[in-house]
Amino acid sequence: MITRNARINEWIDECAKLTCPDSVVLIDGSDAQRDALRAEACSTGELLKLNQDLLPGCYLHRSAVNDVARVEDRTFICTRTKAEAGKINNWMDPDECRARLTRLFRGSMKGRTMYVIPYSMGIPGSRFAKYGVELTDSIYVVLSMLIMTRVGTQVLDCIEGDGFTKGLHSKADLDENERYIAHFPETNTIWSVNSGYGGNVLLSKKCLGLRLASYLGRTEGWMAEHMLILEVEAPDGHKTYVCAAFPSSCGKTNLAMLIPPEKYRKLGYKVRTLGDDISWLRVGGDGRLWAINPEHGFFGVAPGTGSRSNPNALATVDRETIFTNVCLDADKGTVWWEGHDDPPPVHAVDWKGRPWTPDMYDKRDKAGTSAAHPNSRFTAPIENCPSLSPAYFEPEGVPISAIIFGGRRAHTAPLVYQTYGWRHGTFAGSAIASETTAATTGAVGVVRRDPMAMRPFVGYDMGLYWQHWLDIGRRLSNPPKIFHVNWFRTDAEGRFMWPGYGENMRVLEWILARCEGKGDAVSTPIGLVPPEDGIDASGLDLAPGTMKELLSVDTAAWLRDCADLRDFYSFIGNTVPDELCRELDGLERRLHAAAGGKDS
Ligand code: GTP
Ligand code: SPV
Ligand code: MN
pLDDT digits (tens, 9 = 90+) for 414-450: 999 999 999 999 999 999 999 999 999 998 999 999 9
- For residue 596, the model assigns a pLDDT of 84
- For residue 598, the model assigns a pLDDT of 53
Q: Could you tell me the CATH number of the domain that includes residue 374?
A: 2.170.8.10
Does 300 score more than 60 pLDDT?
Answer: yes
Last residue of a domain, one of 204, 220, 236: 220
Mean pLDDT, range 282-294, rounded to an integer: 98
In this prediction, what percent of the chain has a pLDDT beyond 70? 99
Mean pLDDT, range 525-549, rounded to an integer: 96
Q: Tell which residue, 145, 118, 53, 167, has the closest CA to residue 381.
A: 145
- Pair (370, 233) in one structural domain: no
Q: Tell which residue, 344, 487, 347, has the closest CA to residue 413.
A: 487
Does 363 score more than 90 pLDDT?
Answer: no
Are the CB atoms for 297 and 321 separated by under 8 Å? no
- Pair (396, 370) in one structural domain: no
Name the closest-CA residue to atom 7, ligand 2: 199
- Pair (465, 570) in one structural domain: yes
Q: Could you tell me the CATH number of the domain that includes residue 143?
A: 3.40.449.10
- Pair (274, 345) in one structural domain: no
Mean residue pLDDT of the chain comes to 97
pLDDT digits (tens, 9 = 90+) for 131-162: 999 999 999 999 999 999 999 999 999 999 99
13 CA distance to ligand 3 centroid (A)? 33
Ligand 1 nearest-atom number relative to CA 339: 20
Which residues does the annotation mark as catalytic? Answer: 250
Does 224 score more than 60 pLDDT?
Answer: yes
pLDDT digits (tens, 9 = 90+) for 164-198: 999 999 999 999 999 999 999 999 999 999 999 99
Name the closest-CA residue to atom 32, ligand 1: 251
Last residue of a domain, one of 220, 242, 273: 220
The pLDDT confidence band at residue 600, using thresholds 50, 70 and 90, is very low
Query: For a pocket test of ligand 2, which of 67, 71, 179, 249 has the largest count of ligand atoms closer than 8 A to its C-beta?
Result: 249
- Pair (258, 378) in one structural domain: no
Give the ligand with the smallest distance to the CA of 195.
2
Does 1 score more than 90 pLDDT?
Answer: no
- For residue 599, the model assigns a pLDDT of 45
| Domain hosting residue 96, numbered range | 6-46+71-220
Last residue of a domain, one of 384, 404, 426: 384
- Pair (379, 406) in one structural domain: no
585 CA distance to ligand 3 centroid (A)? 31
For the question of whether the overall pTM of this predicted structure is more than 0.75, the answer is yes
- Pair (285, 310) in one structural domain: no
437 CA distance to ligand 1 centroid (A)? 10
Domain count across the chain? 3
Q: Could you tell me the CATH number of the domain that includes residue 507?
A: 3.90.228.20
Mean pLDDT, range 561-583, rounded to an integer: 98
Please report whether residue 371 resides in a domain: yes
Phi then psi for residue 417, to 5 deg, are -150, 155
- For residue 597, the model assigns a pLDDT of 61
- Pair (405, 428) in one structural domain: yes
Mean pLDDT, range 587-593, rounded to an integer: 98
Q: Tell which residue, 34, 297, 274, has the closest CA to residue 148.
A: 297
- Pair (394, 363) in one structural domain: no
Name the closest-CA residue to atom 9, ligand 2: 199
Please report whether residue 55 resides in a domain: no
The pLDDT confidence band at residue 306, using thresholds 50, 70 and 90, is very high
Please report whether residue 64 resides in a domain: no
Sheet holding 59-61, edge to edge: 48-49, 59-61, 322-324, 377-381, 297-301
Q: What residues does ligand 1 touch, defined as CB less than 6 Å away? A: 246, 248-254, 276-277, 300-301, 303-304, 309, 439, 487-488, 496, 500-501, 504
Mean pLDDT, range 325-345, rounded to an integer: 98
Please report whether residue 369 resides in a domain: yes
Mean pLDDT, range 10-17, rounded to an integer: 98
Name the closest-CA residue to atom 3, ligand 2: 248
- Pair (114, 215) in one structural domain: yes
CB burial readout 422-460, b (16+ within 10 A) else e: bbbbbbbbbbbbbbbbbbbbeebeebebbbbbbbbbbbb
589 CA distance to ligand 2 centroid (A)? 37
Of 219-223, 235-239, 440-444, 474-478, the range with the lowest mean pLDDT is 440-444
- Pair (24, 98) in one structural domain: yes
- Pair (289, 301) in one structural domain: no
